[in-house]
A = this chain, B = another copy of it.
Amino acid sequence: MPALTLTYFDFDGGRGEPARLALHIGGVPFEDRRVLFKEWQAMRDGMPFRALPVLEVDGRLVAQSNSINRYVGKLAGLYPQDNLQALLCDEVMDAVEDMDFQIGSTIGLDAEAKKKAREALTAGPLPHYLEQFQARLEAAGGEYFADRRLTVGDLKVWMLVRWLRSGMLDDIPKDLVDRVAPRLVTHAERLAAQPQIAAYYAGRKKA
């Protein structure tokens, strides 16, 4: 195994969490470097593409969250070997990234502009994406998004669903997923109940 350091913010979610989770689930040794928000401004210009997560692989620094998810997914046994199943896993990861970007671009807006932008997202793109995710889940057998087993694609979709349902996003109804794509809620519950995932978050609560 290569020497791995994953650097991301110190919270249980976002773009870095699928890779952290995958490494834990797969039992892949890595350094879990957690950055405090107050440290970020001083680090930002030194990071490739000025963003986190980044992964150091034997001293080589690599960026881009879905690229990292795919790489660690292979190491952790959570990425399909079959080409078509890999494509289906990739497709949902990239689509979640679309939504992360669109929601993320509203975060810095002032209250009025944020409300307007998020209402537009809630009226159009968000339910469309959620319906598409649900349709893909069903087409793939209903339990997982690819390969009929847990992959990094599931972890990525789950992070979006968890964020949308958390109540942390003003002006996006926290019951949107439940109303539009209830099978994604069942999927989220299925993942949260996986023994390795449940044990990981139980350990995080104690820490």
Contact = CB atoms under 8 A, between A and B. Distances in A.
A interface secondary structure, majority: helix
Interface string A59-73: 010111111101100
Interface in A92-133: 93-95, 98, 101, 125, 128-129, 132
17 contacts: A49-B98, A49-B132, A50-B125, A50-B128, A57-B87, A60-B84, A63-B91, A65-B94, A66-B94, A67-B87, A67-B91, A67-B93, A68-B87, A70-B86, A74-B83, A75-B83, A101-B101
A2 interface: yes
A48 interface: yes
The 8 closest A-B pairs by CB, nearest first: A67-B90, A64-B94, A71-B87, A67-B91, A64-B91, A67-B94, A74-B83, A62-B91
Question: A63, A74, A129, A139 — which one has the most chain B CB atoms within 10 A of its CB?
Answer: A63
Interface residues of A, number: 34
A88 interface: yes
Given A63-B95, A95-B63, A101-B101, A70 B87 contact: yes
B86 A71 contact: yes
A49 B95 contact: yes
A94 B95 CA distance: 12
Interface of A: 2, 48-50, 57, 60, 62-68, 70-71, 74-75, 83-84, 86-88, 90-91, 93-95, 98, 101, 125, 128-129, 132, 139
Contacts of A67: 87, 90-91, 93-94
A50 B128 CA distance: 9
A16 to B, nearest CB: 14
Given A49-B129, A70-B86, A101-B101, 7 more contacts: A49-B95, A49-B98, A66-B90, A66-B94, A67-B94, A71-B84, A75-B83
